[in-house]
Amino acid sequence: MQDQHAWSGRFSEPVSELVKKYTASVDFDKRLAEFDIEGSLAHATMLNKAGVLSDDDVAAIRRGMAEVLEDIRSGRFEWSVDLEDVHMNVERRLTDKIGDAGKRLHTGRSRNDQVATDIRLWLRAQIDAIVTLIAELQTSLLDLAEQHADTVMPGFTHLQVAQPVTFGHHMLAYVEMLGRDAERMTDCRKRVNRLPLGAAALAGTTFPIDRHYTAQLLGFDDVCHNSLDAVSDRDFAIEFTAAASLVMVHLSRLSEELILWMSPRVGFIDIADRFCTGSSIMPQKKNPDVPELVRGKSGRVVGHLIALVTLMKAQPLAYNKDNQEDKEPLFDTADTLIDTLRIYADMMRGVTVKPEAMRAAVLQGFATATDLADYLVKKGVPFRDSHEVVALAVRHAESQGVDLADLELETLRQFSPLIDEEVYAVLTPEGSLAQRDHVGGTAPSQVRAQIARHRARLAG
């Protein structure tokens, strides 16, 4: 038996099977069910307060919805594609259980404001979960940064050895990025957390509704103040997906580094076996699959952003069926991001750092050349001149196959007579780090100060 459509009275023939499948959204929007019920209960409570629904009707709706919810949670609920979407499936089952009261629920409401409300409720919960997971990943990066607040590694520009930094400092760069990501999510939440319900199909309703009361029942900060806008715009979803794309881009960059660092050619780190896989043909292989997949999945989330922006761009006001297409990209964005953050927090705890390899790379790259130039500047040499002096010294050291710190004082003095014995303190990686002792610098003391600042922020 086919479930009859709510509007069947207007039509002389049923939609074709293909059209039914093509236009139905229940296969994916059924995951909104709990939020749909939450929204319906608030709507019914408000209608009752407004004198539109009787006490008996609301009591029946509450009782019936509790059963529907139980059916859904236990997997007993039978979703019907004939009923198109989550909203009509839930409403029909409610009516099957409680009769006419179920049919009165949709008074003063449309699926247009209903679905916009459901998505906002759902997205708000996702954002809250994401903000918590970002904090967990930050904590795992902070732990690693703390263990390696003094560990010297080469800092790179153009992927060439540039200046020594600490591994802790490098990890803190990602803590900063993720901090902004959490700020963006929290900011986006403010615009998500407004109530569309009451806009009805597009123009509002003739019933004496109290939208602020519904908003309060659902924990919304405010109502959407224009009914046409409330049912039609999905900018909040676009904004969320943009914020999610940035998190994925940040994690993709970190992934790229982990992959590079784990290459035997670099050998800066190892990643615990539980995050890697082997090769079916090459017995020696251990592949960093998780970071590679994160790098790949960032493309998928950015793709969803493009999908949603494109979905919106040519829609006239107000609601159009196009908007049904917002759900799959949005759901997949949140799912992908949540899984990625979860696995990443765990994976970073499984990273082993190899300080000797990092130090050896620093020593090979003339990483303290800028320190020598700064040293000469402090002795009165103009920076451009000292830059040239050091370039010549580097060229000499390179021809000898040694580091700057390996050159005899006499040799160094051939490049500038201002150089004295104390130069060796700045030519070591540790000396170089210690001198960058200001807010945001890589000196171990500054790295520790930043770790403490982040920990206090996360605890507060």
Q: Active-site residue numbers? A: 158, 279
Q: What single-letter amino acid sits at 211?
A: R
For residues 170 and 197, is the Cβ–Cβ distance under 8 A? Answer: no
Spatial CB neighbours of 323, under 8 Å, sequence gap ≥ 6: 115, 232, 234, 311, 315
Compute the least distance from the CB of residue 82 to ligand ARG, in Å. 14
Considering the rule CB under 6 A, would residue 232 count as an interface residue with ligand ARG? no
Q: By CB under 6 A, which span of 110-118, 351-359, 370-378, 390-398 interacts with ligand ARG? A: 110-118
Give me the count of residues in the chain. 460
Site string for ligand ARG, 312-341 (x = CB under 6 A): -------x-x-xx-----------------
Considering the rule CB under 6 A, would residue 115 count as an interface residue with ligand ARG? yes
Residues 418-437 interacting with ligand ARG (rule: CB under 6 A): none
**Number of helices and strands in the chain (H, E):** 20, 6
Q: Give me the residues paired with residue 165 across strands.
A: 153
Q: By CB under 6 A, which span of 91-99, 111-119, 167-175, 339-347 interacts with ligand ARG? A: 111-119
Q: What single-letter amino acid sits at 378?
A: K
Number of residues that bind ligand ARG (CB under 6 A): 10
Q: By CB under 6 A, which span of 108-116, 128-136, 250-258, 331-339 interacts with ligand ARG? A: 108-116
Considering the rule CB under 6 A, would residue 25 count as an interface residue with ligand ARG? yes
Pick 82 or 85: Cβ nearer ligand ARG: 85
CA distance 94 to 123: 25
Residue 158 phi, psi dihedral angles, 5° rounding: 55, 25
Q: Give me the residues paired with residue 166 across strands.
A: 152
Tokens of 11: 């039509």
Compute the least distance from the CB of residue 227 to ligand ARG, in Å. 14
Pick 232 or 336: Cβ nearer ligand ARG: 232
Pick 166 or 323: Cβ nearer ligand ARG: 323
Compute the least distance from the CB of residue 3 to ligand ARG, in Å. 15
Compute the least distance from the CB of residue 218 to ligand ARG, in Å. 18
Cα 152 to Cα 163, 240, 432, distances in angstroms: 10, 37, 10
Compute the least distance from the CB of residue 295 to ligand ARG, in Å. 32
440: left (phi over 0), alpha (psi -120 to 50) or beta: left
Q: What's the CA angle centered on 278, arms 277 and 279, to 5 degrees?
A: 130
CA distance 389 to 448: 35
Q: Which of 157, 128, 166, 127 is nearest to 451 (CA)?
A: 166
Pick 57 or 82: Cβ nearer ligand ARG: 82
Pick 295 or 304: Cβ nearer ligand ARG: 304
Q: Indicate which single residue of 93, 104, 109, 111 sits in contact with ligand ARG (rule: CB under 6 A).
A: 111
Compute the least distance from the CB of residue 84 to ligand ARG, in Å. 7
Pick 312 or 351: Cβ nearer ligand ARG: 312
For residues 262 and 273, is the Cβ–Cβ distance under 8 A? Answer: no
Considering the rule CB under 6 A, would residue 118 count as an interface residue with ligand ARG? no
Pick 257 or 328: Cβ nearer ligand ARG: 328
Residues 266-305 interacting with ligand ARG (rule: CB under 6 A): none
Q: What single-letter amino acid sits at 243?
A: A
Residues 26-85 interacting with ligand ARG (rule: CB under 6 A): 29, 85
Tokens of 2: 């086919």
DSSP character at residue 287 = B
- Contact residues for ligand ARG, defined by CB under 6 A: 25, 29, 85, 111-112, 115, 319, 321, 323-324
